[in-house]
Structure 1
Amino acid sequence: MQRLLRYLVAGLVVLVLASFAFTFQVRFTEAAVKTTFGKATDESVIREPGLRFRLPYPFQEVTKYDTRMRLLTLKVETQQTADNRQIAVETFCTWRVTDPLKFFQTFSSAGERSEEHYQKAEQALQANLRAAAGVVSKFTMQDLFTAETNKSKIPELEIAMKDAFTQSADKQGVKLADYGVEAIDVGLTRILLPEAVTSAVFDRMKSGRERIAKEIESQGQSQAQAIRDRANSDSQKISAFAERLAQDIRSKGDNEVAPYLALMNKNPQLAVYLDQMEFIRGVNPRTATLVIPSSYPGFNLLMPDSLNGIRAGQLPSFTTPESIKSALNEMAGTQPAAKPTGGKK
């Protein structure tokens, strides 16, 4: 029984060693290069994840590369701008392996492990990143630092840096595409200014802000003046329109009242009588109590004997108020009439 147990354990160990020697696994974030006697071809690249078979070492070897994005940063280095100002920049780039076969053929001389390949690749990429940082010399301080919103050319600088990064070649003329890698992004992590340059930048930004403030103030004053002028013009138009409308209403009223005035001028006593009756009708005894002498114009008609001795067709005797006579004379354009004494006219 113990002998059988030993055989089972030994068989299990042999099976584990055989699986380790004859199989390998590729994760979904990896790409593998399977070499035969140290040589690799297009068929040697494995991109699909899963379990794969191989011959044991030294017949075949497998090198796995992580295809996810990697970050490379370059320490602060001094660069000179187009206007001969010194600035210190810290640059970065993000990259990944896109062609495992080219990457293996270019950097496999660094060692057997993929980490050694990455280290050698980063050394080559750092040289490209230094060359890309030199693009700063094509821009002035005014281009990079400005007081106006969205006027800085730093985004244009980073685009130019990426172009320079991808086009740079090493001493053997090998470019980034020949490395089997792809540059995702290239840019500036930070920009440091010497004290003298910082003061100059702040002064320039201050003057730029003052200029913008003056422009905004001038625009505001011109707009305010335009609003005032437009308001004055509108008020004059409204006043002229109201005056014309009022004149039209007055003319229309004069035209409508002219026949009535002409009729009343024929019999002014009747006009005064009707005016007095209208006044009496306007008195509301429920809300007011008036004590007025009968000699007051219009109230003599309330006396019990006011109509005694009046024949048919004859008007009662009363005195025409001066205000009514003046109004009638002014509207009719006639001379003041003699005071009536009553009786038929």
Structure 2
Amino acid sequence: MKKNYLTISIAALLTGVLLLFLVAFQVSVNQCAVITTFGKPTRSIKEPGLYWKLPWPFQKSYIFDSRIMLNESVFEETYTKDGKNIIFSVCVGWNIEDAEIFLKSIGTLDDAQRNIEGLVRTYKNGVLGQHYFSSLISTSEADLQFDTIEHEILTPVAAEAAERYGIKVSFLYITRLGLPEETTVKVFERMKKERERIAEQFRSEGEARATEIKAKARSERDQVIAKAEAEAKRIRGEGDAAAAEYYAIFEEHTELAVFLKKLETLREILKQRSTVILDTSTPPFDLLDTIEIPTKHGDAK
């Protein structure tokens, strides 16, 4: 009797668990769910908690991950408005916003990723075809338009994804840029020419500045020389005038002039102590013959 009671209790417990499994389900914080009745969506659930439903085949629950998914597009080639090809990829952040629309249109996360990739590819090629190559790659920061291009791609992608798939696209960024080999060579050649043009401009400005500095230095030098020559000319004129006065005096007193010249000559010859034996008849030593030298007895010789 006890054995039958235990068996019945276990069977009832299993039956209760099975019934609970069929009529109850849980939605966590990072999930959303849809309840279908006979295959048609009838209820959408966004809040976490324990929920009830009719057992299959009357109702069925579909639970989806509602966290933001990252999807990076393929690194593929496209063309700009000026006909130049470029390789780039974008990263998209999206999550399920309307689980009911999502279930009807897509149903699985893998299919959602493929559909998002298709949307991004379509709109990024269209948007990039409206911008010039310099909007993505340029030596001038003012030409770059990354924010504008990203916004122009994100806006239609987000609108269509929400309407068709119940998906919210939160952000879109350009992650990588590349150039085909042919384009790379042309870009580097253009950058090289641009750098050469800038270098030539700097050289021209430097040469012009150097010419200006040299001209200014020559002008200042000429002014200094002219001023010095004028001062020297003035000094020479004053000296010539003073000499002319002395010459006029010497012309009036010729003997005095000769005498002074002889004294000056003797002074130069006899600057230091020296013994000179010369004929006193030779000028200017003839002056020595006229000088009286006192003797010990007081008479002169």
SS in 2 for 1:75: coil
1:202 aligns with 2:188: yes
Query: Structure 1: how far apart are the matches of 2:199 and 2:141?
Result: 13
Cα distance change, pair 164–48 in 1 and its aligned pair in 2 (3 A): closer
1:69 aligns with 2:55: no
Q: CA offsets per residue over residues 240-299 of structure 1, 9 Å max, x none? A: xxxxxxxxxxxxxxxxxxxxxxxxxxxxxxxxxxxxxxxxxxxxxxxxxxxxxxxxxxxx
What is the aligned length? 206
Query: Structure 1: how far apart are the matches of 2:199 and 2:137?
Result: 18
Letter in 2 for 1:143: S
CA RMSD of the aligned region, Å? Answer: 2.9
1:136 aligns with 2:136: no
Which of 163, 166, 188 in structure 2 is aligned with 1:180? 166
Task: Quote how far apart the aligned CAs of 1:127 are.
Answer: 2.1
**8 Å Cα contact 1:161-1:187 kept in structure 2:** no
Letter in 2 for 1:195: E
Q: CA offsets per residue over residues 210-262 of structure 1, 9 Å max, x none? A: 6667889969x99xx9xxxxxxxxxxxxxxxxxxxxxxxxxxxxxxxxxxxxx
TM-score by structure 1 length? 0.53
Q: CA offsets per residue over residues 280-321 of structure 1, 9 Å max, x none? A: xxxxxxxxxxxxxxxxxxxxxxxxxxxxxxxxxxxxxxxxxx
Task: Quote how far apart the aligned CAs of 1:185 are.
Answer: 1.7
Q: Which residue in 2 is equivalent to 1:161?
A: 153
Q: Which residue in 1 is equivalent to 2:239?
A: none
Structure 1 alignment gaps of length 5 or more: 109-116, 169-174, 226-345
Query: Structure 2: how far apart are the matches of 1:25 and 1:82?
Result: 52
SS in 1 for 2:87: strand
Q: How does 1:75-90 map to 2 (within 5 A)?
A: 75-90=74-89
Query: Structure 2: how far apart are the matches of 1:184 and 1:216?
Result: 47
Query: Structure 1: how far apart are the matches of 2:198 and 2:30?
Result: 52
Cα distance change, pair 215–25 in 1 and its aligned pair in 2 (3 A): farther
In percent, how many aligned pairs have the same letter? 29
Q: How does 1:216-235 map to 2 (within 5 A)?
A: none
Q: Which residue in 2 is equivalent to 1:21?
A: 22
**8 Å Cα contact 2:98-2:167 kept in structure 1:** yes
Task: Quote how far apart the aligned CAs of 1:167 are.
Answer: 5.2
Task: Quote how far apart the aligned CAs of 1:73 are.
Answer: 2.6
Query: Structure 2: how far apart are the matches of 1:154 and 1:204?
Result: 21
SS in 2 for 1:71: strand
**8 Å Cα contact 1:24-1:51 kept in structure 2:** yes
Task: Quote how far apart the aligned CAs of 1:187 are.
Answer: 3.0
Q: CA offsets per residue over residues 134-169 of structure 1, 9 Å max, x none? A: 12222222221112346422222212211242356x
Cα distance change, pair 167–57 in 1 and its aligned pair in 2 (3 A): closer
Letter in 2 for 1:33: V
Query: Structure 1: how far apart are the matches of 2:198 and 2:31?
Result: 54
Query: Structure 2: how far apart are the matches of 1:71 and 1:102?
Result: 20
Task: Quote how far apart the aligned CAs of 1:207 are.
Answer: 4.4
Query: Structure 1: how far apart are the matches of 2:90 and 2:169?
Result: 14
Task: Quote how far apart the aligned CAs of 1:53 are.
Answer: 1.2
SS in 2 for 1:166: helix
Q: Which residue in 1 is equivalent to 2:281?
A: none
TM-score by structure 2 length? 0.60
Query: Structure 2: how far apart are the matches of 1:34 and 1:181?
Result: 18
Structure 2 alignment gaps of length 5 or more: 213-301
Cα distance change, pair 163–216 in 1 and its aligned pair in 2 (3 A): farther
SS in 1 for 2:155: helix
Letter in 2 for 1:48: E
Q: Which residue in 1 is equivalent to 2:95?
A: 96
Q: Which residue in 1 is equivalent to 2:57?
A: 58
Q: How does 1:324-339 map to 2 (within 5 A)?
A: none
Q: CA offsets per residue over residues 73-121 of structure 1, 9 Å max, x none? A: 322222111222122222332211111122222235xxxxxxxx22333
